[in-house]
Amino acid sequence: MPEVMNCRRCRKIFMYSGTGPKICESCKKLEEEEFEKVRAFVREFPGATAQEVSRETGVPTQLIYRFLKEGRLEVSESSPIALQCENCGVRIKSGRFCVQCSKKLATDMIRMGRTLSETVQKSSEQLTKETAGLRYLHGERKETKEK
Ligand SMILES: [Zn+2]
Ligand SMILES: [Zn+2]
Protein backbone atom coordinates (compact mmCIF):
# COMPACT_ATOMS: atom_id res chain seq x y z
CA MET A 1 0.00 0.00 0.00
CA PRO A 2 1.51 3.35 -1.01
CA GLU A 3 1.67 5.85 1.80
CA VAL A 4 2.74 9.45 2.21
CA MET A 5 5.90 10.01 4.19
CA ASN A 6 8.93 12.22 4.56
CA CYS A 7 12.01 11.29 2.60
CA ARG A 8 14.67 10.07 5.00
CA ARG A 9 17.27 11.97 3.05
CA CYS A 10 15.81 15.33 2.03
CA ARG A 11 12.67 15.33 4.28
CA LYS A 12 10.50 16.05 1.24
CA ILE A 13 7.04 14.49 1.30
CA PHE A 14 6.62 11.68 -1.19
CA MET A 15 4.57 8.58 -1.90
CA TYR A 16 6.28 5.54 -0.52
CA SER A 17 5.53 2.42 -2.53
CA GLY A 18 5.98 0.11 0.44
CA THR A 19 9.25 -1.45 -0.69
CA GLY A 20 12.90 -0.44 -0.56
CA PRO A 21 14.51 2.46 1.27
CA LYS A 22 12.19 5.21 2.51
CA ILE A 23 13.50 7.92 0.25
CA CYS A 24 11.96 9.90 -2.61
CA GLU A 25 12.55 9.21 -6.30
CA SER A 26 15.20 11.88 -6.83
CA CYS A 27 17.12 10.79 -3.74
CA LYS A 28 16.81 7.18 -4.85
CA LYS A 29 18.47 8.11 -8.13
CA LEU A 30 21.24 9.97 -6.33
CA GLU A 31 21.78 7.11 -3.95
CA GLU A 32 21.87 4.66 -6.84
CA GLU A 33 24.68 6.70 -8.41
CA GLU A 34 26.53 6.83 -5.11
CA PHE A 35 26.11 3.12 -4.65
CA GLU A 36 27.55 2.45 -8.11
CA LYS A 37 30.52 4.70 -7.33
CA VAL A 38 31.20 2.91 -4.06
CA ARG A 39 30.78 -0.52 -5.59
CA ALA A 40 33.12 0.25 -8.47
CA PHE A 41 35.70 1.73 -6.12
CA VAL A 42 35.62 -1.18 -3.70
CA ARG A 43 35.94 -3.62 -6.57
CA GLU A 44 38.97 -1.80 -7.88
CA PHE A 45 40.57 -1.16 -4.49
CA PRO A 46 39.52 -4.02 -2.23
CA GLY A 47 42.01 -2.90 0.42
CA ALA A 48 40.54 0.58 0.86
CA THR A 49 39.10 1.59 4.21
CA ALA A 50 35.65 3.14 4.52
CA GLN A 51 37.31 6.52 5.06
CA GLU A 52 39.31 6.16 1.86
CA VAL A 53 36.28 5.06 -0.11
CA SER A 54 34.35 7.99 1.31
CA ARG A 55 37.12 10.45 0.44
CA GLU A 56 37.51 9.16 -3.09
CA THR A 57 33.84 8.79 -3.95
CA GLY A 58 32.43 11.66 -1.91
CA VAL A 59 29.93 9.28 -0.36
CA PRO A 60 29.56 9.62 3.43
CA THR A 61 30.84 6.66 5.43
CA GLN A 62 27.45 6.22 7.12
CA LEU A 63 25.95 5.62 3.70
CA ILE A 64 28.69 3.12 2.83
CA TYR A 65 27.90 1.25 6.04
CA ARG A 66 24.21 1.41 5.25
CA PHE A 67 24.84 -0.16 1.85
CA LEU A 68 26.70 -2.91 3.68
CA LYS A 69 23.96 -3.35 6.23
CA GLU A 70 21.34 -3.55 3.55
CA GLY A 71 23.38 -6.31 1.99
CA ARG A 72 23.71 -4.40 -1.28
CA LEU A 73 27.41 -3.79 -1.04
CA GLU A 74 29.74 -6.71 -0.57
CA VAL A 75 33.35 -6.40 0.42
CA SER A 76 36.09 -8.98 0.21
CA GLU A 77 37.16 -11.16 3.13
CA SER A 78 40.29 -9.05 3.61
CA SER A 79 38.62 -5.68 3.25
CA PRO A 80 39.17 -3.28 6.14
CA ILE A 81 35.59 -2.17 5.66
CA ALA A 82 33.82 -4.46 8.03
CA LEU A 83 30.64 -4.55 9.94
CA GLN A 84 30.19 -6.15 13.30
CA CYS A 85 27.33 -8.34 14.34
CA GLU A 86 25.10 -6.08 16.41
CA ASN A 87 24.48 -8.94 18.77
CA CYS A 88 27.81 -10.66 19.40
CA GLY A 89 30.32 -8.32 17.74
CA VAL A 90 31.81 -10.87 15.36
CA ARG A 91 33.03 -9.55 12.00
CA ILE A 92 30.45 -9.84 9.23
CA LYS A 93 30.38 -8.87 5.58
CA SER A 94 26.85 -7.63 5.22
CA GLY A 95 23.60 -7.22 7.07
CA ARG A 96 23.31 -6.56 10.79
CA PHE A 97 23.94 -9.94 12.37
CA CYS A 98 26.14 -12.97 11.87
CA VAL A 99 24.59 -16.18 10.56
CA GLN A 100 24.24 -17.69 14.03
CA CYS A 101 22.63 -14.62 15.52
CA SER A 102 20.33 -14.20 12.50
CA LYS A 103 19.03 -17.70 13.08
CA LYS A 104 18.58 -17.10 16.77
CA LEU A 105 16.90 -13.76 16.18
CA ALA A 106 14.58 -15.19 13.55
CA THR A 107 13.36 -17.71 16.13
CA ASP A 108 12.93 -14.94 18.69
CA MET A 109 11.08 -12.86 16.15
CA ILE A 110 8.57 -15.65 15.47
CA ARG A 111 8.04 -16.06 19.19
CA MET A 112 7.65 -12.32 19.58
CA GLY A 113 5.22 -12.23 16.65
CA ARG A 114 3.01 -14.76 18.39
CA THR A 115 3.09 -12.79 21.60
CA LEU A 116 2.17 -9.64 19.72
CA SER A 117 -0.76 -11.18 17.88
CA GLU A 118 -2.10 -12.40 21.21
CA THR A 119 -2.08 -8.87 22.50
CA VAL A 120 -3.39 -7.21 19.39
CA GLN A 121 -6.76 -6.58 21.02
CA LYS A 122 -5.10 -4.46 23.66
CA SER A 123 -4.37 -0.83 23.01
CA SER A 124 -0.96 -0.04 21.59
CA GLU A 125 -0.24 2.06 24.65
CA GLN A 126 -0.75 -0.90 26.93
CA LEU A 127 1.17 -3.07 24.52
CA THR A 128 4.40 -1.12 24.77
CA LYS A 129 4.13 -1.13 28.56
CA GLU A 130 3.46 -4.81 28.74
CA THR A 131 5.69 -6.24 26.01
CA ALA A 132 8.61 -6.68 28.39
CA GLY A 133 6.53 -8.51 30.95
CA LEU A 134 4.65 -10.64 28.46
CA ARG A 135 7.64 -12.81 27.79
CA TYR A 136 7.25 -14.15 31.31
CA LEU A 137 3.48 -14.23 31.39
CA HIS A 138 3.72 -16.70 28.53
CA GLY A 139 0.38 -16.18 26.90
CA GLU A 140 -1.51 -16.07 30.16
CA ARG A 141 -3.86 -13.20 29.59
CA LYS A 142 -3.75 -10.63 32.30
CA GLU A 143 -6.45 -8.02 32.29
CA THR A 144 -5.17 -4.72 33.54
CA LYS A 145 -7.36 -1.69 33.73
CA GLU A 146 -5.66 1.51 32.65
CA LYS A 147 -6.82 4.69 34.28
ZN1 LIG B 1 14.48 12.86 -1.01
ZN1 LIG C 1 26.43 -12.60 16.07
Residues 67-124 pLDDT 10s: 988 888 988 878 888 888 989 998 887 788 999 999 999 999 888 887 777 776 565 5
The mean pLDDT value for 9-17 works out to 93
The mean pLDDT value for 50-66 works out to 94
The predicted pLDDT at position 134 comes to: 52
The mean pLDDT value for 118-137 works out to 58
CA–centroid distance, 53 to ligand 1, in Å, is 23
3-state class of 4 per DSSP? Answer: strand
CA–centroid distance, 28 to ligand 1, in Å, is 7
pTM of the predicted model, to two decimals?
0.60
**CA of 6, nearest ligand number:** 1
CA–centroid distance, 56 to ligand 1, in Å, is 23
CA–centroid distance, 62 to ligand 1, in Å, is 17
CA–centroid distance, 75 to ligand 2, in Å, is 18
Ion ligand 2: residues, Cβ under 5 Å: 85, 87-88, 98, 101
The predicted pLDDT at position 13 comes to: 95
CA–centroid distance, 111 to ligand 1, in Å, is 36
**49 confidence band (pLDDT: 50, 70, 90):** very high
Buried b / exposed e over 79-116, threshold 16 CB at 10 Å, is bebebebeeeeeebbebbbbeebbeeeeeeeeeeeebe
